[in-house]
């Protein structure tokens, strides 16, 4: 099963406040949250529990980025995620649900 979701990073996203003055960078935890939310969408609803088995952040994400979150896996997992800004991968990793 493959699932994808587009996310536009708002220039005024609250996570940019203080992270970092003069050069705003979206915290990795926001990217991970979107990956988990996307997995919930793929499986039909919010996840009661999800484990981030691995995560690697490859490039910073700034205001105005247009991201694509892609998941690949089977309903019972594990799930691989890739987050791209255009053709550049900004984060990658794997997720497991409570049942995997």
Whether the model clears a pTM of 0.75, i.e. scores above it, the answer is: yes
Token pair in block for residue 21: 């003055």
62-99 tens-digit pLDDT: 999 999 999 999 877 899 999 999 999 999 999 998 76
User: Which one of 3, 13, 19, 96 is the catalytic residue?
Assistant: 19
Domain that holds residue 71: 2-97
> Which CATH number goes with the domain that contains 26?
3.10.129.10
Residue at token pair 């053709």: 87
Coil, strand, or helix at residue 43? helix
Q: Is 13 a catalytic residue?
A: no
Number of domains in the chain: 1
Distance CA 67, CA 64 (A): 9
7-24 tens-digit pLDDT: 999 999 999 988 888 899
């Amino acid at each position: 099963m493959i699932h994808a979701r587009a996310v536009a990073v708002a220039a005024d996203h609250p996570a940019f406040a203080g992270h970092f003055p003069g050069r705003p960078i979206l915290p990795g935890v926001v990217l991970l949250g979107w990956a988990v939310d996307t997995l919930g969408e793929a499986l039909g609803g919010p996840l009661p529990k999800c484990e981030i088995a691995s995560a690697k952040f490859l490039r910073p994400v700034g205001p105005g980025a247009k991201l694509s979150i892609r998941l690949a896996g089977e309903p019972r997992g594990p799930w691989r995620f890739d987050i791209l800004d255009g053709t550049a991968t900004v984060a990658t990793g794997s997720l497991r649900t409570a049942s995997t």
